[in-house]
A and B are shown apart, each in its own frame.
Chain A
Amino acid sequence: MAGSHSYPGTTSPPARGTARKLAPRAGCTTESPLARRLLIAVALGFIGLVLLLPLAAVFVQAFKRGADVYFAALTEPDALAAIRLTLFTALIVVPLNTIFGIAAAWCLTKFAFRGKQWLITLIDLPFAVSPVIAGFLFILLFGAHGWFGSWLAAHDVQIVFALPGIVLATLFVTFPFVARELIPLMQSQGTLEEEAAATLGAKGWKMFRHITLPNIKWGLLYGIVICNARAMGEFGAVSVVSGHIRGETNTLPLHVEILYNEYQFSAAFAAASLLVAVALLTLTAKQWLERKRL
C-alpha cells in the first residue's frame, strides 16, 4: 500500500488477526446471551436515537414542503451569499492553517529546543477556549473601542463585522487541527530518515519534499479535511464578529439560525442539509484516509 515506509530498527505492531485467535471461543464475557443481546440493543438504540434520528430529521424537515421549496431556499440570494462566504472563508483559512500546521509540526518534532512543551500546549489554546470568547477577543482587539480600534478607524479599515474578522475568528478556532494531527505522527516517525537524507547531502526543501511529505501525506490530508469541516461549520466565534448583515457577513451556520428564528423551518433545514452533507463527505473522506494511514 502507498505510504508504508518502514525501516529496520522499528518494532512493527503485531500482524492483524493474531489477537483475535487468542480470544476464547465463547467470547470474553460471561453474561448470558439474553443480557448480551439486550446490551447490544441498548447501544444500537442509543446510537440510532442520538446520531441517526436527528440526521434523518434534518433531511425530512428540509424536504417536507417539497423539492421546489428546498431548491428555492438554496438559490435565494441571501443563501447563495452565505454559501459563497463560507466557501471563501474556508479557502483562505484552510491553506493558511495547513502551512502553519506543517511548519509547527516540523519545528516541534524534528528539532529539540527549550520551551518546546510550552509551544505544544500553546497550540492547543483554541481547543481550550470557548469559541465565543475567541470572538470577543477579536472585538476587544479590533472593535471600535478595542486596542487598535482608533487606528483602524483613522485608516478606514474594517476588521470586525466584515470578512477579515470572520476569517480571523475562523483561523483562530481551526488553528490546531492540522498541527495536532501531524505532531504525534511525526513524533512516532522520528528523525532517522531525515538524518540519513542529510548525510547524503539533501538540503531542507529537498528533504521535506522527498522524505517528510510522503511520510505524512495521509495524516496531513486527514488534518486538512477536519480543519475544513470545522472552518465551514464554525458558529460561536463567527457569530460574535459577524454583525449578521444579510447577504454580506452571514455564513451558512448563521444563516441556518436566522432562518430558524424567522419560522422558516423548511428553508433553515435546507441550508442545514448542506452542512450535514459537508459532514457526511468529511466522514467518508476520514474513513478512507484512516485506512490509508495505517
Chain B
Amino acid sequence: MSSRQYRKKIILWVFIAAMSLTAACGGGTAGTKTGGPSGTAAAGTEPVVLQNVSYDPTRELYADYNKAFAAYWQGKTGQSVTVKQSHGGSGKQARSVIDGLQADVVTLALAYDIDAIQQAGLIKEGWQTRLKDNSAPYYSTIVFLVRKGNPKGIRDWNDLVQPGVQVITPNPKTSGGARWNYLAAWGYALAASGGDEEQAKEWLRGLYGNVPVLDSGARGATTTFVERGIGDVLISWENEAFLAANELGKDEFEIVVPTVSILAEPPVAVVDGTVDKRGTRKVAEAYLEYLYTEEGQEIAAKHYYRPRLEKVAAEYGQRFPQVKLLTIHDQFGGWAQAHKKHFADGALFDEIYRR
C-alpha cells in the first residue's frame, strides 16, 4: 500500500514538473505575442513589428535586408523595427493573405498573385504603378543549370528538346517559377518558328516530353535536380541557379544562359487593408522604398537578384550576363491574358502536357 502511494506521489511530481516547465516556456511565447502583429503601433518611437509575406527563395535576401532596414529606420526616426518573415509557394502565400494572414507588405514571385490579393479588396487598384519599375525593385531571369562539364552540350533552348535529354522544371499549374520557365520557352519557340503557334506548340510538346517529373514548386525541382541527381538540365530562376551552383555543390554544376529568356519581375506591394488597420503604413512604405536605394540594391545583387540601379548593376555586371529578355507585358499582354491562354484549365499547357 505504501509503495503504491509513493509511486503515485512520484507520478504526480513528474507531472507537475513537466507542466511548470512547459508553462514557463509558454509564458515566453505569450510575452512576445503582445508585440506581434496583433498590437497596433503608431509611427513614433514605439517599437514596431512588420510582417513581410514572401515566396520561397527570398529568405536569405530578406534576412539580410531586414537588418539593414532596421538600422536605417532606427537612425532616421529613432524607432526600432522588427520584420517577421513568412515564406512559401507564391500562390499559397497570396491565398493565406486573402484568408486573413496579417501581412503589412507582400513580396511575391508574380504580379498575378498580388492581383489576386487586390481582387479580394486588400490592396488598392493600380498598386503596380505606385513604385518604380512595375513595383519590382530587382528582377531575375530564367537560365539553365547543367551538370559539371556540360556533358550533354546544352547551349540554348533547342538543345532541351533533343532525344535523351532529361529536363527538370516544376508544374506551371502550381509554381510561379514554372510559369516563367514555360513562358520563356514559349517565347523562344514562337520566335524560332516565326510566330507560328502550331509549330511552337509542337516544340513545347517535345520539351515537356523530356520532363520526367513535374515538381509542385521551384524548390522541389531544385532538390530533385541537385539532391536526387535526376535530370541533365534544370530550368530555373537565375538566383536559384546561383544558389545551387555556389552553395550546394561547388564545382558540381554550371550555369548556361540561353540566347533569349524572360524578364522575371517579382513585385512588392504594401497591403493597404492591414497597414491602415495597424497604423503601419509609413514604415511599411519606407520598407519597400528602401529596396530601391543603393544599399537595398547591393543586398539584392549579393543574393543573385539583378539590381535596377545602374551603379550597382555595373558593379555586378560580371555576374549577370546580358540576355535578350522578353517581357510579360509586350509578349503576352500581361498576366491575366497569359493565364487565360496558357495555364487555365483546358488551356495550352493542358493541351501540350496531355500525351
Contacts and interface: CB of A to CB of B under 8 A. Distances in A.
Interface of A: 2, 81, 83-85, 87-88, 90-91, 139, 142-146, 149, 153, 156, 158, 160-163, 243-248, 258, 261-263
B56 interface: yes
A246 B219 contact: no
A261 B85 contact: no
Interface string B19-57: 101110110111011001110000000000001000010
A145 B19 contact: no
B59 A245 contact: no
Interface in B52-69: 56, 59
A85 B26 CA distance: 7
A244 B86 contact: yes
B33 A163 contact: yes
22 contacts: A2-B7, A84-B26, A84-B29, A88-B22, A88-B30, A90-B22, A91-B19, A91-B26, A143-B100, A144-B99, A145-B98, A145-B120, A146-B100, A160-B101, A161-B99, A245-B101, A246-B84, A248-B36, A248-B84, A258-B87, A261-B219, A262-B59
Interface string B84-128: 111110000000101111100000000000000000100000000
Given A81-B32, A91-B26, A144-B99, 17 more contacts: A2-B4, A2-B7, A81-B29, A84-B25, A87-B26, A88-B25, A143-B99, A145-B100, A149-B100, A153-B100, A161-B96, A161-B100, A161-B102, A162-B38, A243-B101, A245-B101, A247-B84
A82 to B, nearest CB: 10
Contacts of B223: 261
Interface residues of B, number: 36
Interface of B: 4, 7, 19, 21-23, 25-26, 28-30, 32-33, 36-38, 51, 56, 59, 84-88, 96, 98-102, 120, 219, 223, 243, 247-248
B99 A145 contact: yes
Contacts of A87: 21-22, 25-26
A91 B56 contact: no
A161 B56 contact: no
Contacts of A244: 86-88
A146 B120 CA distance: 13
Nearest to B247: A263
A90 B26 CA distance: 10
B62 to A, nearest CB: 10
